[in-house]
Structure 1
Amino acid sequence: MKRPATYKNCLDRLLTLLDFEKFSGPRGPRVKFNLSRMYALLSVLGDPHKNGRVIHVAGSKGKGSVTAMVSSILCSNGYQVGMFSSPHIHTFRERIRINGKPISKEVFVDLVEKVWPMIQEIGSRTSFGAVTLFETLTAMAFVHFKESKTDFQVVEVGLGGKLDSTNVVDPMVTVITPISFDHMHILGDTLTDIAREKAGIIKKGVPVIVAPQSSEPMEVIRNVARTKDAPMLEVESDFEWLLNNRDLKKQSVRIQTIYKTYFVNLSLLGNYQIANAATAIGVVERLQSLGHGISSDAISQGLENVVWPCRMEVLQDSPILVVDGAHNPQSIRSVMASLPTYFDFNKLVVIFGTSRDKDLEEMIKEISLVRPTVVVVKSRHPRAADPDILFKNFQNYQISVSTNKSIADAIEYGLDAAGDRGLVLVTGSLFVAAEVREIVLDIDPELYF
């Protein structure tokens, strides 16, 4: 008699699949990306991705935040909202949400049991090759959203856009958040190449909301939108926003769109989160123009209640302890620039760890510009960079740097070094930020490595 599947059994089963998140740079497995395998998998599952009201979000920075904001606004208006995002912070179940809440272990098990026979069937067809972990999770999300009879689905791209496994949807609106250098071994070596991949989610005649961009990616996006007759809203040129006030829990902002002025208490801190909120409002206003009722109160409430951990998140206030998963030079620059605007402190300690495939030298350069005390660490993730390499790079800038054997030790050291009026920033990787969050908030993590 077959034993009932458990959550751990299902996780173990999924972790036998190819997972590109474990690999760094060109040393990872060589796979030709295309969508034929994903379409085949969804076909044998009954095409659960079809006929949903989808908002599809791509970008290098802020795509998770915008996804969470749009989802929160729609939930605040009473809609049943499915959300798919990656990576997760503490558990795989976070990647698939209904009304902002991660699916339960029971639902997760049920979904794995439903899709697993099809995973094996597609994998046995030599023309397609083995289904990946991300493709499986994407299929699980679509199955669950269909079964949950969602009113809307807010779907975040995993990597790139054009050939990402989420790019099988027929969206109502597409969104492109700021594009920067990231995943260059897959997406290309120039911003033009990367933008071309991200812009691959733009569909013929489907409105596209574009967050602030540098000139090179914006030109690519404009050309693709023009070619596909996709109405385009450029948030930076069409909207205005202003920070009015802030504390450790929220920021009060004014956002002026083409149609209306919004006064919002935004729960996520950082100048870039105001731009993300403006982008989310642009999405919602487009949905309104398509005939979907969404009140101004729902917009304000959704942005005030949105929860998106490890994005300039304050874990304690004396000394101030902030975690932020910035993992490329542009994101690091944004975080460092936001600190003096949002916090009052007399000393800065940075706990830094990142992945091998990231632009270590440029991130370290951005941090070193403000002359903090630095502690380098290593997360448990297989892609984690060697702390000795980070240590030597920081030493090149002649700043105070040390290394700790454990992240727990680094937190203790950092808080002590900062003093009561100091600030400790944990950054460089979502994996490092997540581990700090687990220690400080006493969260029991899922361990895979």
Structure 2
Amino acid sequence: GVTADGDIGIVSVFELETAMAFYHFTAIKTDINVIEVGLGGRLDATNIITPLISVITPISLDHVAVLGDTIGKIAGEKAGIIKPGVPVVASPQVPDAIAVIRATAESNKSELTESHSAVAIISSTDHGFDGIELELGVGDRSLQTRLHLLGTHQVDNTRTAVAVLQQLSNGGVPIDFGAIGEGISAVKWPARNQLVSRHPNPVFVDGAHNGASAHALRKTIEQLFPERRGVVLILGTVRGHDPSAVARELASLKPRIIVTESRHPKSLTGIELAEALSECKITTTSRTTSTQLALEQAHVLAGDGDVILATGSLFVAAEIIEIEHGIEPELYPDIKTPPHNLLSSTVRQN
């Protein structure tokens, strides 16, 4: 086994999978790899590499028990991926975060590109559920594309991606500028601000799992469903995240909340989630033991003009998509499937 020598401690699943991935990329001789940090950055298993470029997306409070309880502390962990002399691209950040990133880049003599300065929005046309037409300014050139990902925050993500590609091109990586627009227009991202079905009520899912992502989700719902009558919220989270932060950000939608749990082994149970929200004075309408039951309950509660919103984790979002689209779930012997015939008899109407 991997711990047989007794000199490296216990190897986590993520560490083992990271090593397997790096070995695979080497074996098949990939041209370029996008490596995403698992948690934080400085001490993450992926941080053994020296990349062509480092990218830091928006920093918010998350995993505070591990990364620290302030934006500055978390930024310090995230900025740990910055390597001496390696260029860095940063998405728009709150002041405490960008201050740490700038200082770390300077100390490592790494060129820092801030995406919102490097990639300008020349024009944009919002087509609702059909996406956003964009004309972006990159240096002395303009890039026209259509972004099908929903939510204004995805425009920021697009600008970051374009800034990264421009920096890679500057560094000698051959990139066809025209292909960037084609690539952006082809991007699909399941379970991220996805309209799963329209009738009898719209079912919308997203993997928001912290306050910042829930804030972006709320803005998207307000933008896409301005005529909504109400919101039925299916909420399920995994351990290590603060479910109350998500619920508080969505509170202005005045949702009726159905708490649930996914098949994931780290999922909070419906009982645990309901108790966590109750401690924060957040009222839940019902408690279920599976996403199947939660969706059934949501359809019962939803009236004309209501939106059904499922969020809290990608696992919950994915299971709702499976159910609505009739996709056979990917099950493994060691994952316990929640019984689909159990539903809390306690239902409180708001």
Given that 1:349 and 1:373 are in contact with CA atoms closer than 8 Å, whether structure 2 keeps it comes out as yes
Given that 2:260 and 2:270 are in contact with CA atoms closer than 8 Å, whether structure 1 keeps it comes out as yes
Do residues 278 (structure 1) and 159 (structure 2) align?
yes
Structure 1 segments, 4+ long, off by >6 Å, are none
* Aligned-partner Cα distance in 2 for 1:259–1:234: 17
Partner of 2:291: 407
Q: Give secondary structure in 2 for the equivalent of 1:431.
A: helix
Give the CA deviation at 1:381: 2.5
* Aligned-partner Cα distance in 2 for 1:264–1:291: 24
Partner of 2:177: 296
Q: Which structure 1 segments of 5+ residues have no match? A: 1-119
- Pick the aligned partner of 2:232 from 349, 352, 363: 349
Structure 1 counterpart of 2:306, one-letter code: G
Query: 1:46-445 counterparts in 2 under 5 A?
Result: 120=1, 122-241=2-121, 243-318=124-199, 319-344=201-226, 345-391=228-274, 393=277, 401-419=285-303, 421-441=305-325, 442-445=327-330
- Cα 1:163–1:405, aligned 2, differ >3 Å: closer, same or farther? closer
Give the CA deviation at 1:394: 6.0
Give the CA deviation at 1:127: 1.6
More relative contact order in 1 or in 2 (CA 8 Å, sep 6+)?
A: 1
Given that 1:249 and 1:314 are in contact with CA atoms closer than 8 Å, whether structure 2 keeps it comes out as no
Give the CA deviation at 1:163: 1.3
Q: Deviations over 1:347-384 (max 9, x none)?
A: 32211111243223222211212212221112222332
* Aligned-partner Cα distance in 2 for 1:224–1:299: 29
Q: Deviations over 1:383-403 (max 9, x none)?
A: 322423544536976767222
- Cα 1:320–1:296, aligned 2, differ >3 Å: closer, same or farther? farther
Report how many residues are paired.
329
* Aligned-partner Cα distance in 1 for 2:60–2:133: 28
* Aligned-partner Cα distance in 2 for 1:398–1:162: 35
User: TM-score w.r.t. structure 1 length?
Assistant: 0.69
* Aligned-partner Cα distance in 2 for 1:377–1:399: 14
* Aligned-partner Cα distance in 2 for 1:249–1:148: 37
Give the CA deviation at 1:286: 0.6
Structure 2 counterpart of 1:409, one-letter code: L
* Aligned-partner Cα distance in 2 for 1:259–1:418: 51
RMSD: 2.2
Structure 1 counterpart of 2:202, one-letter code: I
Q: Which structure 2 segments of 5+ residues have no match? A: 336-350
Given that 2:56 and 2:91 are in contact with CA atoms closer than 8 Å, whether structure 1 keeps it comes out as yes
Q: Deviations over 1:171-192 (max 9, x none)?
A: 1111000111111222122211
- Cα 1:167–1:398, aligned 2, differ >3 Å: closer, same or farther? closer
User: TM-score w.r.t. structure 2 length?
Assistant: 0.87
Give the CA deviation at 1:201: 0.7
Greater shift after overlay, 220-229 or 336-345?
336-345
Q: Deviations over 1:5-35 (max 9, x none)?
A: xxxxxxxxxxxxxxxxxxxxxxxxxxxxxxx
Identity %: 36
Given that 2:269 and 2:289 are in contact with CA atoms closer than 8 Å, whether structure 1 keeps it comes out as no
Given that 1:202 and 1:208 are in contact with CA atoms closer than 8 Å, whether structure 2 keeps it comes out as yes
Q: Give secondary structure in 2 for the equivalent of 1:155.
A: coil
Structure 2 counterpart of 1:251, one-letter code: I
Partner of 2:331: 446
